[in-house]
A and B are shown apart, each in its own frame.
Chain A
Amino acid sequence: DAGVIQSPRHEVTEMGQEVTLRCKPISGHDYLFWYRQTMMRGLELLIYFNNNVPIDDSGMPEDRFSAKMPNASFSTLKIQPSEPRDSAVYFCASSLRGELFFGEGSRLTVL
């Protein structure tokens, strides 16, 4: 299995632009998580899905952030409009039976 696949690996954009991060979970996994990692705040859970349904989005910072999972093999995290404080590494992870597998992350820099 290829593992959790995230794209892009690196994104540099200007403040106010829309950013879309993508994730392909491991086939057969029924949970998908989006995390954000920064030096200041560590690893934060943003939102997670079970069988494509959002279960808890209480970690989403504000309305500028949205996440979708249209099918079992694809999820997106969108930031519109982006701000410099959104600069971070965003991780997608999927799990099955209580074991979590992470992607390599998408490093976002907002100028």
Chain B
Amino acid sequence: AQSVTQLGSHVSVSEGALVLLRCNYSSSVPPYLFWYVQYPNQGLQLLLKYTSAATLVKGINGFEAEFKKSETSFHLTKPSAHMSDAAEYFCAVIANTGNQFYFGTGTSLTVIP
């Protein structure tokens, strides 16, 4: 079975500061991992995905995430926060042989000017 845990339902950072959103996964088989972003009144959009190639994955809008098997983590980072990054972020996992996505509970990112 697969699951993800997002630590911290709310994260606040100052504009220009490092963004770190945490995600830990549990999977009995090699996983595919994803980060999605949701802006107000919109659907979820794919930020980046890990599918067993490079462990450091770069996504849109300057975000990246690193797959660490030893830590079962897939944390999302961005070196410098921008006001437009304020949104809800979801981590998700599927088995590499599967098709059912399991989402975390989401982390709301606030960027303080």
Instruction: Using CB atoms and an 8 Å cutoff, list the residues of chain A in contact with chain B.
Output: 4, 31, 33, 42-43, 45, 48, 50, 56, 91, 93, 95, 98-105, 107
Instruction: Judge whether A105 and B43 touch: CB under 8 Å.
Output: yes
Residue of B nearest to A4 (CB): B43
Q: Do A42 and B103 contact each other (CB < 8 Å), given the known contacts A91-B43, A101-B46, A102-B45?
A: yes
B interface, how many residues as a size bin?
20 to 34
Q: A33-B101, A95-B99, A98-B96 are in contact. List 9 more A-B contacts (CB 8 A).
A: A4-B43, A31-B99, A43-B106, A45-B100, A45-B101, A56-B100, A93-B43, A98-B99, A102-B43
Instruction: Judge whether A48 and B46 touch: CB under 8 Å.
Output: no
Instruction: Judge whether B99 and A99 touch: CB under 8 Å.
Output: no
B17 at the interface (CB under 8 A from A): no
A43 to B51, CA, bound (A): 23
With a CB–CB cut-off of 8 A, which chain B residues contact A33? 101
Q: List 24 A-B contacts (CB under 8 A).
A: A31-B99, A33-B101, A42-B105, A42-B106, A43-B44, A43-B106, A45-B100, A45-B101, A50-B99, A91-B44, A93-B44, A95-B99, A95-B101, A98-B94, A98-B99, A99-B46, A100-B36, A100-B44, A102-B36, A102-B43, A102-B45, A103-B43, A104-B42, A105-B42
